[in-house]
């Protein structure tokens, strides 16, 4: 069975690029364009990994991550932040909110696949 990845990002180019890369690697890919849709889809899909942008409509990625970490059914899902925010405080807040990884945009294919491979099975019991 294919692993499910949920991408929560409002940038269509990022979504299209990631969708193509990940589907070519055999992953089932689902997308959400804002924070509320992302939390809802995470609950419905129970993905194996979430790629999460920081700057989102309705609430930021840190809030989304904290919300998912408070849900007993979703708290073990690996969450990888993706952002163009390069500041040390941004990266620290991503990990403090419960993130498992951080990828700086723009990213390359190898980088994204490496971080997914390292984290995709962490949420399994």
Of the listed ranges 21-30, 58-67, 80-89, the one predicted with least confidence: 80-89
**Distance between CA atoms of 109 and 92, rounded to whole angstroms?**
24
Other CB atoms within a 10 A radius of the CB of residue 81 amount to: 26
Please determine, for residue 125, whether its predicted confidence score (pLDDT) is greater than 50: no
Is the predicted pLDDT of residue 124 greater than 80, yes or no?
Answer: no
Supply the CATH classification number for the domain 4-119.
Answer: 3.40.50.2300
Tokens of 29: 């890919």
Q: How many residues does the structure list for the chain?
A: 125
Q: 65-80: per-residue pLDDT in tens? A: 999 999 999 999 999 9
pTM of the model as a whole: 0.95
Extended beta strands in the chain, E state = 4-8, 28-32, 49-53, 79-83, 101-104
């Amino acid at each position: 069975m294919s692993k499910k990845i949920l991408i929560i990002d409002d940038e269509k180019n990022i979504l299209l690029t990631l969708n193509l890369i990940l589907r070519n690697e055999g992953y089932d890919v689902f997308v959400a364009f804002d924070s509320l849709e992302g939390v809802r889809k995470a609950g419905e899909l129970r993905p194996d990994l979430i790629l999460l942008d920081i700057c989102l409509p309705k609430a930021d990625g840190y809030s989304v991550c904290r919300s998912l970490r408070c849900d007993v059914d979703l708290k073990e899902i690996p969450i990888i932040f993706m952002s163009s925010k390069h500041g040390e405080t941004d990266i620290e807040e991503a990990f403090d909110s419960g993130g498992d990884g951080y990828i700086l945009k723009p990213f390359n294919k190898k980088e994204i696949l490496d971080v997914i491979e390292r984290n995709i099975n962490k949420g399994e019991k």
